[in-house]
């Protein structure tokens, strides 16, 4: 979780956590794997989310200083929103994600790996959902930690998991690895995308283990095909 309104907490103990030696299939890669993951095209997915049936009680801001203009929309088998992308570098301390690189850094994530450790934003594609509020309660719509998300930007599809929760009034955030794979500047202090990012979250889905990106791609591709058939 990050919030640009939060005062920086003092980070005690500067020792870097030893990076867990996960296989590539589990930890993901911080370099773009391809123009798109899976067999479903960005165009086909976007064609199903051209209109919004709003399910949130209000709308979200993309940043503290912006107006609330982003609704959460419902479809058969999924929810979606179209927003910007702020960079979440929270979780395990790594070379790219740490208190020096990220002024909003926190050493934990809402959801954890199968070994109990926080997620690893530098290598695992994950998406941040707004914390429960009067605007929207994500758990009431079948969205859970480890749920599959199709993130679409610039005609690319990247599959991610629901990995963290964020501010109650702001939407549009994903991990360093998600941004990197989509060709978005992943710098947590200066990077991100101002607009043009679509997040499609598949209801009642869950990747196990949550840190397996290959499992997210496999399940995501299957759910994306179902999404096209059902909408």
Asked whether the beta carbons of 30 and 193 are under 8 A apart, the reply is: no
Radius of gyration of the chain (CA): 16
Residue 63, domain member (yes or no):
yes
Average pLDDT over residues 148-173: 97
> How many domains are there within the chain?
1
Higher-confidence residue: 204 or 12?
Answer: 204
Q: What is the pLDDT of residues 104-134, one digit of tens each?
A: 999 999 999 999 999 999 999 999 999 999 9
Residue 104, domain member (yes or no):
yes
Alpha carbons 16 and 98: distance in angstroms, whole number: 8
Q: What is residue 85's three-state secondary structure?
A: strand
Mean of per-residue pLDDT scores for the chain: 88
Residue 205, domain member (yes or no):
yes
32 pLDDT exceeds 70? Answer: no
Average pLDDT over residues 149-160: 97
Residue 209, domain member (yes or no):
yes
129: CATH: 2.40.40.10
Residue 16, domain member (yes or no):
no
Q: What is the pLDDT of residues 194-215, one digit of tens each?
A: 999 999 999 999 999 999 999 9
Asked whether the beta carbons of 40 and 16 are under 8 A apart, the reply is: no
Q: What would the two tokens of residue 222 be?
A: 């299957």
Residue 8, domain member (yes or no):
no
Identify the domain containing residue 216 by its residue range: 25-230
Q: What is the pLDDT of residues 36-82, one digit of tens each?
A: 799 999 999 999 999 999 999 999 999 999 999 999 999 999 999 99
Residue 5, domain member (yes or no):
no
Asked whether the beta carbons of 223 and 205 are under 8 A apart, the reply is: yes
pLDDT band at 11 (very low <50, low <70, confident <90, very high): very low
Residue 7, domain member (yes or no):
no
pLDDT at 35: 55
Of all residues in the chain, the percent with pLDDT exceeding 70 is 85
Q: What is the pLDDT of residues 71-92, one digit of tens each?
A: 999 999 999 999 999 999 999 9
């Amino acid at each position: 979780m990050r919030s640009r309104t939060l005062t920086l907490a003092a980070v005690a103990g500067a020792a870097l956590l030893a990076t867990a030696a996960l296989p590539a299939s589990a930890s993901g890669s911080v370099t773009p794997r391809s123009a798109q993951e899976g067999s479903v095209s960005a165009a086909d997915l976007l064609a199903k989310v051209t209109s919004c049936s709003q399910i949130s009680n209000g709308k979200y801001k993309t940043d503290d200083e912006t107006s609330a203009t982003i609704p959460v929309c419902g479809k058969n088998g999924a929810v979606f929103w179209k927003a910007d992308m702020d960079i979440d570098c929270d979780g395990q301390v790594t070379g790219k994600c740490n208190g020096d690189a990220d002024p909003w850094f926190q050493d934990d994530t809402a959801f954890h790996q199968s070994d109990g450790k926080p997620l690893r934003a530098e290598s695992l594609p994950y998406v941040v959902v707004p914390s429960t509020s009067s605007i929207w309660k994500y758990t009431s719509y079948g969205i859970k930690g480890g749920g599959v998300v199709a993130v679409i930007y610039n005609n690319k599809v990247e599959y991610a998991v629901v990995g963290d929760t964020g501010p109650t009034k702001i939407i549009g955030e994903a991990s360093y690895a998600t941004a990197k794979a989509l060709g978005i500047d992943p710098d947590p202090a200066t990077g991100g995308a101002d607009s043009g990012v679509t997040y499609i979250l598949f209801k009642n889905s869950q990747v196990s283990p949550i840190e397996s990106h290959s499992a997210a791609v496999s399940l995501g591709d299957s759910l994306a095909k179902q999404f096209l058939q059902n909408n």
